């Protein structure tokens, strides 16, 4: 059977959305790079971004640990049915890479994956924020992403170059086979009162600095610190 493949690549600069003067919290003006458009042909992958991409909130998004956001194409049929949006396009979850044949259960923290000449390392699951709700016009979207485990994941860039849709996604190295993105999500959201698991996840090689910090702070709280 064919292996995982990039079926679509999306980029987008931050731009304003919403309606000025609206009293509806879901319609108030905001700025985001969540709305991305497909790229035709090769696109350069740099250390902190794809060419033509950007984030509005650089505190919580972007940077070397969250340079490239990936999402499974395999999740789209379920979302289209559940949301009643049969034409929900790839990029609908703000991702740069839409990958068929991989889900959170198939990808581990610290994995090194090759797409053409580009090398990418999995750094953390994607954490849904309020902009996910705004994008889909549903206040419950962040909770639904957490409940379903359809989070997506971030890559850091080890080797820069160009990629394009249609290229295979090949596993090069797996240092943490017990720590899938799905397992990391479970510890972060469902088993968050378990100090031992919290510390184990914090110590996983290749986990992003922001997740390490959050987990260590949680462990300190659980110890009564």
pLDDT of residue 99: 98
User: 122 has which bridge partners?
Assistant: 155
What's the rounded Cα separation, in Å, for the pair 93 and 103? 14
Question: pLDDT per position in the chain (225 positions), as tens?
Answer: 689 999 999 999 888 787 787 777 777 777 878 889 999 999 999 999 999 997 756 556 668 999 999 999 999 999 999 999 999 999 999 999 999 999 999 999 999 999 999 999 999 999 998 889 888 989 999 999 999 999 999 999 999 999 999 999 999 999 999 999 999 999 999 999 999 999 999 999 999 999 999 999 999 999 886
Domains and CATH numbers, the chain: 5-175 (2.40.33.20)
- Please give the model's pTM, rounded to 2 decimal places: 0.94
Measured in degrees and rounded to the nearest 5, phi and psi for residue 202 equal -60, -30
103: Cα within 13 Å, side-chain hemisphere: 10
């Amino acid at each position: 059977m064919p292996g995982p493949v990039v079926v679509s690549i999306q980029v987008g600069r931050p731009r304003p959305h919403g309606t000025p003067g609206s009293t509806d919290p879901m319609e108030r003006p905001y700025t985001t790079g969540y709305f991305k458009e497909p790229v035709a042909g090769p696109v350069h992958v740099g250390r902190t971004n794809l060419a033509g991409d950007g984030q509005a909130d650089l505190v919580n998004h972007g940077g070397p640990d969250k340079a490239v956001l990936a999402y499974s194409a395999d999740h789209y049929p379920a979302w289209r049915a559940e949301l009643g949006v049969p034409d929900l396009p790839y990029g609908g979850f703000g991702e740069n890479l839409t990958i068929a044949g991989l889900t959170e259960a198939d990808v581990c923290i610290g994995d090194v994956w090759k797409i053409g000449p580009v090398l990418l390392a999995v750094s953390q699951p994607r954490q849904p924020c309020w902009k996910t709700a705004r994008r889909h016009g549903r206040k419950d979207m962040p909770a639904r992403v957490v409940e379903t485990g359809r989070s997506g994941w971030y890559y850091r860039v080890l080797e820069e170059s160009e990629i394009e849709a249609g290229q295979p996604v090949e596993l090069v190295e797996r240092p943490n086979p017990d720590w899938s993105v799905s397992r990391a999500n479970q510890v972060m959201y469902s088993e968050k009162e378990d100090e031992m698991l919290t510390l184990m996840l914090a110590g996983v090689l290749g986990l992003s600095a922001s997740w390490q910090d959050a987990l260590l702070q949680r462990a300190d709280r659980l110890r009564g610190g």
